[in-house]
Amino acid sequence: MARLVFGMNQSLDGYIDHTAFAPGPTLFRHFIEEVQGQAGCVYGRVMYEVMRYWDDEHPDWGADERAFAAAWRRQHKWVVSRTLKSVGPNATLVGDDLEGAIRQIKAEREGEIEVAGPTLAHSLTALGLIDEYRIYLHPVVVGQGKRYFAGPRPPLRLVGSDRMAEDVIRLTYVPA
């Protein structure tokens, strides 16, 4: 059975704004390796549309960007949306039965499946479906935007902390 993992970069004040800060080379390499090893990813609509950037080649990319794009393109994606009518390559649109669809995906797969997007993660948390939370804590203060936890923080238990790069720490939690 697969495990659902919600992990995102977060500012010190709890925001996940990819335009305000980004992973450095060491952390980006970590993310490449994670995507290469995952069983897939479940996206909310907004995060899916942000990540569609990786569907197209960009001439200014270096080797790491090309490696991430290749891994992302190979990875199966499930997109949770009430407004999208179609999704891109290697992606499946999840219908109205979110809980049933995610339970089926978890039952049919092995390994880690990433959850991408705080609103989706909030819904999956309420359904008791997220197995692990990974906060990649960056030393920046953003002051506004989307928060890592889209609603009240669920009861969590810290199970690990790792220095991921010179200035980024990963905090790993499981439901308490």
What's the pLDDT tens digit per position in 105-116? 999 999 999 999
pLDDT-derived band at 18, boundaries 50, 70, 90: confident
pLDDT reading at 49 higher than 90: yes
CA 78 – CA 81 distance, rounded (Å): 10
Instruction: Give the CA radius of gyration of the chain.
Output: 16
pLDDT (0 to 100) of residue 62: 97
Q: Of 63, 64, 93, give the one whose Cα is nearest residue 80.
A: 93
CA 142 – CA 145 distance, rounded (Å): 8
pLDDT (0 to 100) of residue 40: 97
pLDDT (0 to 100) of residue 96: 85
pLDDT reading at 38 higher than 90: yes
Structural domain including 57 reads 3-175
pTM of the model: 0.94
CATH of residue 150's domain is: 3.40.430.10
How many structural domains does the chain have?
1
